[in-house]
Structure 1
Amino acid sequence: MTKITLNIPDNELAFFMKLIEKFNYETVVNDVTVSEEMKVVLDERRATSKKENFVPWEEAKKQIRLKTNK
């Protein structure tokens, strides 16, 4: 089975949904809940972060390593 993720503009969603009614599809809603404790930690990190410690996204992507199960 192949899974495809699409970003559909709001004004085109109704058209797209009519188009795919013929197919077997699954709608996935990604609701992320952030607790008050998590918000406090994030606010603290934002307040104490230093611009010189930031890593550009292109460099960060190179540092990410995917681990495989052995």
Structure 2
Amino acid sequence: MTQITLNIPDNELGFFLKLIEKFNYEPLINDFSVNQEMKELLDERRNSSVEEDYVAWEEVKKQIRFKSNNEL
């Protein structure tokens, strides 16, 4: 099986979905649930966060490093 990930601009999503209806595809459904403990932890972190400590997403992306198969 081949898996392809695409980044579709929001304003083009409708067009893209109409286009792929013509093909046989299987939608990926992310069934993600958060339990009460996780919600409480996230709320605690949100309430104790300080805006001065925030890092812009563009800066975070530059710091992400992926391991190669040799490093696993």
Partners of 1:69 and 1:53 lie apart in 2 by: 33
Runs of 4+ in 1 over 3 A off after TM superposition: 4-9
TM-score, length of structure 1 as denominator length = 0.71
Partners of 1:18 and 1:54 lie apart in 2 by: 38
2:62 equivalent in structure 1: 62
Q: What are the ranges of 5 or more consecutive residues in structure 1 without an aligned counterpart?
A: none
1:48 equivalent in structure 2: 48
| Count of aligned pairs between the two proteins | 65
Q: What are the ranges of 5 or more consecutive residues in structure 2 without an aligned counterpart?
A: none
TM-score, length of structure 2 as denominator length = 0.69
Partners of 2:44 and 2:20 lie apart in 1 by: 46
1:35 equivalent in structure 2: 35
Secondary structure in 1 matching 2:41:
helix
